[in-house]
Amino acid sequence: MYAEDCENGEVVFRDSYGNEPKGTFINGKLEGFYRGKV
């Protein structure tokens, strides 16, 4: 999986299977994380 560099805000990861786990970055750290559609 990959993501853009992010300091604050929400980010959507995408992997080669089409999964879209989502997370929230606060001060450059991934604080919350959950899996989106599969």
For 1-38, how does the pLDDT look when each residue is reduced to its tens digit (9 = 90+)? 444 555 556 666 666 766 666 777 766 666 666 655 54
- What is the predicted pLDDT for the residue at 2? 44
Q: Which two tokens stand for residue 35?
A: 């899996």
Per-residue pLDDT, 10: 63
Reported pTM: 0.32
**Whole-number pLDDT of residue 14:** 65
**How far is residue 24's CA from residue 17's CA, in Å, rounded to a whole number?**
21
Instruction: Give the pLDDT of residue 24.
Output: 72
Length of the chain counted residue by residue = 38
Q: What is the pLDDT of residue 1?
A: 42
Side chain identity at 9, as an amino acid letter? G
